[in-house]
Every structure is written in C-alpha cells, then in structure tokens.
Structure 1
Amino acid sequence: MGTTSVDERIKDYMHTLGLDFSRPLICCLLVSKDFIGREKEQNNIIEVLGNEKGCIVWNCRNDIGVLYQGGNAEHATVESSMMFAHALLEKIYQYDSQLKLVLGISNVQTGLNSVRKTYWQGWSATVAAQCQGKEDGIFHYKDLGILQLLVKNIGNEGAKEFVKEQIGTLIRYDEEKGTNLVTTLEEILQHSNLKKTAEKMFLHPKTVVFRKQRIEKILGVSLDSFETRLALGVALKLHLVNQVIKVHN
C-alpha cells in the first residue's frame, strides 16, 4: 500500500523472488466471500496458481494477490492482461467451479513504484466491482471512470465532510425511520426519468414521485438541477466505497 520505501534491501529481496522492476508488471487481486474463514481453501488455490509461469502469488488477508511479469514490453497490453486474468480464473474454476470470485486487474506499470501502483489499482478495481453489487467477474482499473478518483480519497477528511454535507441527513433519516431513500436517490440519479426508475425498482410511478419529493425536502435541494445531481452522485459513490471497505475490513 506504499508504506514501505523501495531501497536496495527491498530491491535485492524482490530480485530473489524473480521480480525485475525494469520489466512490465501487473497485479491481479482475487476477492471472494468464500475465502472468509476458509484459509485452507484459500491456500489450496494459492498453490494451484503458484505454478503459473511469471507469477508471484500470496495470501493477502482474505484475498489472494498475484503479481505477473510473464510477458515482454511489446505484448504488455490491456488485452494481454485480460487474457492472463481469464486464464487465472479458468485454473481456479478447474479446481472449484462453485467459487464466486471478483478479479481486479491493474494497468501495466514499470519502475520502483510498480508494485505499489499495480496493487492499489487491482484493489481499487475490486472495490468498484463490489460497489456495483458484483460477486464475480473480471474488472479492469481502466474501466473505473470517476471511481479511480474517488477511491484515492478514502479516509480523506474532506471527502468524509463532503458526504456528510451532501447526503448525511438522508442517511440519518433512513437509519432512524427504517426507509431506503438513499437507494431510491441512487436509482433516480441513474435514470433519465422517474418512469424508468419506477420500473427498475418495481414501484408505481406515483410512489417514486412521492419519494423524490421527500428526498428533496430532507436534503433541501431540487433533483432537477444538473449541478445538484452531479454533487449527490459523487457523494453517493464515496458513501458506497466507504461501506464496501468497512465490510471488507
């Protein structure tokens, strides 16, 4: 996570593991609810993947980390990274086809900070997947969009204050009343009109209109304003990321 400086001692140690900082590197992070409390199963999969050429595989708490440096510079592309990720999943599913795995994959990096950068990007991709409610599949860091920026601000006091100011009253209302207006707000912001929101939530359109009005009253804003929708959307994403990290930790 970047808490260790890469000095000569670290460089020598990484060299003994077969890692060359001058060559392209990617990191895959494998996350699954099935790993929690099942260390033996996790270690068995690490053993299965450990035979993969060009890989360093390790137990990363409840996850599995994979550093891969098997290709050359000309072939270090997003496509080749995705092919490698699919090959990893295929090996795992040959061992246990019932597992549900989220695989986060980084961009290609080189240099002394490549381990930190690739790990952070792979981890960010898994967080983004979980924010979307995904329990399996391959997710590349390049596809995160605005979440690339938001994940970097986790733990930032300014980000926490922003969430509190934008949607704090709505979060508290849900907690006190047992409602789900935060979820309704998220759905309203994701769709072009309330009819589509109602269809997605299996609600009558009038119910969604009522909820929209209640949300606007609680927050003291109009959801018809572009700037307001943008600010609320960012706050919701930050809130979701925080929730995922809390559960994961």
Structure 2
Amino acid sequence: MLRTVLLDDERPALKALEHLLGQYPTIEIAGSFTDVDQALELIKSGNIHLLFLDIDMPKQTGIEVAKKVYSQNSSIKIIFITAYQQFAVDAFEVNAIDYIMKPVSPKRLDSAIKRLALSTPAQDHSVIRQKQTEFLNQLLTAAAIAPETILTQAAKLSIDFAHPFSFYFLLPGDARKQARTDFIDKLVSQPGFMAWETPHGIGILDYTVTAPANAKELELANASTITTIVGGYFPQTKITIGIAEYDPKIENFVNRYIQARNTAVLALPIARPSGVYHFLDRCFLPVLDQYIHEQSCDTLIDHTIGKILEYDRLNDTDLFCTMEQILFCNTLQEVATALFVHYKTIIFRKQNIEKLLGISLNSFSGRTMLGVALTLFYLKNIPTLSDN
C-alpha cells in the first residue's frame, strides 16, 4: 500500500485526482491539501511514499516544495501535475517520476502509475521497513546518541521523531513470524502509527495522542483499539500491551521502551486472556531492576525463585505456578479455582513453599520479598522472539 499525499492549490483539481486514484487498490490517500505547510507537516510525520504535486502555486512553486520534501524524506516519489508544459525540464531535474498535464486523463494517470511501479520494485518497501527496524533496535542498545543525530537519521528513514508520540509494546507470546509481520503491515497502514519488531516483541509509536494532560486515558483507548486488530492475526495467542509514560523528549526513547516492555511482561501472568496495561498503573514494578544491583538481584532470585524451580524439577511438582497464583489472587480458594485443583492441595503446596523458603506467605514481609523476586525473575527472563 502506497500512502499518498496530494497537493494542489485548486480544490476541483484535487477532487478530480482523488476520484481517479480511487481506482487503484495499492494507493491510499493519506491527505489532500491546498496548503503547502499542512502537506509538509504530514509528510514530515513519516510513512508517506508518494506525492502528487502541482507545480504552479501562488506562494511557492512545486519545484521549491519538492526540494523541501526531499530534505525531509529522500525516498519519497513525486509525480508533478500542472497546466504548463514549460516546467517539464525543471520537474525532471528534481528526480520526479513523471510529469502529467492538466486535466489529468485516466489513460495518462495509468501510464504514470505503471512508471512508478517500475521505479519502485516490490522489495523496496520491505528494504525500507528493514532499515527502519534496524535503526530503531540500534537505538535500544546503542550508547548515548545526540538528539540532533537521532532526528536527522530518523528523518532519512521516514521516521518522525520531530513530533511527540505515545509508546506501546505488544508482547505477542508464541505468535509465528509471518503473523507478526502481517500485523505490523496492517498497523502501519493506519494513519498515525509506526510499528516494528524488537528482539522481544513489537514496538508501537502512536502519533494520534496530542493532549498530554489526559494522555493516559487516550493511550488506553487507542491501545484497546489495537487489540481489535490483534485478534485477526493472533486469535489463539495470549497478548499483552504495555504503555509507557507520555514523554516528548527523544532522549528518553530507551527508557520509555523499557517501561512499556516491562509493563507488558509483568502483566502477562495476570492477563486473562489478554489485556492493556499502563506503566503509571503499575508504578514501581517495571523499574525495580534499575534500583537493585545486578548481583543482588541474582542472589535474591537464586534464594527464592531458584529454589522453587529446582524443587519442581527434582520432584515433578507445581510449586512455582502455585506461588505465582498465591501472589496474584486474594484468597487460596481463588488460587484453587485458577489452577483447577482442590483447595486442600493449595494449602499443602503453600506449606511446602513456606518450609522450603523459610518464610510466611501470610506476612507482609514474606509476600513482598517473594513478589520482588518474582518481578525481577520476569524481567531477567523475557523471551526472545522466534524467526519461525
């Protein structure tokens, strides 16, 4: 799908072109403008592949506009439309795909679309998507990079970091690679969204939230609509979406990714069957690992979760999943219901856990210590996505 912008100072000409382009299923009109600044604003936001541009406009020529567009997005394709033949040479000097005389005829437009197809091999879009993915994932692991450098590199790849965005992370469970790819393709075709596959899930940038005062409510609503799309691609998979705190500073890109990812990871055990969770609702849990020394984290996990997992391995028991549910549920009866076992079995397992760890699961200190250990265990064992 080619996301396309139309720019012409004559509204009737725009309407006529919109009608003709409606016959092409591979073209999606993302915006139709008589105002240059409004068109440039949308193009700057990224994910625009094609521009139909009038040359003779009152405030600045289409040639001047084309140069501005290429400075923002060098990969965009431009087809000029004008009533004046004398601009043809100038049009091709700025690497236009074609030059169509007004009024645009269906036959001439079809010729331009075919020329566009020849100049844009099918693999181009996948190559661009791959470069975007590599760039975004490099940001997650690279040392500190100057914001100006990030903005420049992002603009070259049609990634809009010049405007604020909400940050979501989708944990797709065991969904297959093709399903993840198809979902990303569908989501980025929606206005205002950017998505890519990270090592652990799917990162999503949402540019539609523009009111920081009530960003959380809008983000939760938007993420819920994403789950509707999710259902068509991961019908049998448990999905969680984590949402980072709204923050317009690009310097905080990595921290926001961690917030969204960790929120989704920590929500997975309690999501039934899937759900949307906001970092601000889960407060300190997603960032515990940032405040505890790594060696201390490992020691705490080894002395608690590690003991339970080893006991289960040696004795073929289910103490770990029982311990999880005891921490998640309000009563032991809820635990028994969740695990489909008898209430007395849960009491017996609880006693074994307490004996093994030397703590009481009825005490605040015991539940807090085990809850912290379990949280750190989740964060240190985030699964990597499979290529299958």
**What TM bracket, shorter-length normalisation?**
0.7 to 0.9
Specify the SS of the correspondent of 2:356. helix
Partner in structure 2 of residue 9 of structure 1: 149
CA distance in 1, matches of 2:320, 2:383: 18
Alignment CA distance shift 1:181-1:53 (3 Å):
same
Q: Is residue 2:235 matched to residue 1:98?
A: yes
From 255, 259, 266, the equivalent of 1:128 is: 266
Q: Kindly name which structure, 1 or 2, has the bigger radius of gyration based on alpha carbons.
A: 2
Q: Is residue 2:19 matched to residue 1:19?
A: no
Q: CA deviation digits over 1:53-89, x for unaligned, max 9?
A: 3332223346332212234345661111122223333
From 45, 58, 62, the equivalent of 2:183 is: 45
Specify the SS of the correspondent of 1:89. helix
Partner in structure 2 of residue 80 of structure 1: 218
| Structure 1 residue identity aligned to 2:144 | S
Q: Alpha-carbon deviation of 1:154? A: 9.2
Q: Alpha-carbon deviation of 1:160? A: 1.2
TM-score by length of 2: 0.53
TM-score by length of 1: 0.78
Q: CA deviation digits over 1:186-209, x for unaligned, max 9?
A: 334445555554455444444333
Higher relative contact order (CA 8 A, sep 6+): 1
Q: Alpha-carbon deviation of 1:230? A: 1.8
Specify the SS of the correspondent of 1:214. helix
Specify the SS of the correspondent of 1:132. coil
- Mapped contact 2:172–2:202 kept (Cα < 8 A): no
Q: Is residue 2:361 matched to residue 1:212?
A: no
Q: Is residue 2:324 matched to residue 1:186?
A: yes
Alignment CA distance shift 1:154-1:53 (3 Å):
farther
Specify the SS of the correspondent of 1:113. helix
Specify the SS of the correspondent of 1:81. helix
- Mapped contact 1:28–1:103 kept (Cα < 8 A): yes
Q: Map residues 53-202 of structure 1 onto 2, 5 A cutoff.
A: 53-61=191-199, 63-73=201-211, 77-93=215-231, 96=233, 98=235, 100=237, 101-132=239-270, 136-150=274-288, 152=290, 156-191=294-329, 194=332, 197-202=335-340
| Structure 2 residue identity aligned to 1:89 | T
Tell me the number of residue pairs that the alignment of Structure 1 and Structure 2 aligns.
244
Alignment CA distance shift 1:185-1:50 (3 Å):
closer
Alignment CA distance shift 1:176-1:155 (3 Å):
farther
| Structure 1 residue identity aligned to 2:235 | Q
Segments of structure 2 that go 5 or more residues without pairing to the other structure are: 1-139
Percentage of matched positions with identical amino acids: 26
CA distance in 2, matches of 1:113, 1:218: 45
Specify the SS of the correspondent of 2:241. strand
Segments of structure 1 that go 5 or more residues without pairing to the other structure are: none
Alignment CA distance shift 1:223-1:5 (3 Å):
closer
CA distance in 2, matches of 1:73, 1:172: 49
| Structure 2 residue identity aligned to 1:25 | F
Q: Map residues 226-245 of structure 1 onto 2, 5 A cutoff.
A: 226-243=364-381, 245=382
Partner in structure 1 of residue 137 of structure 2: none
CA distance in 2, matches of 1:162, 1:81: 35
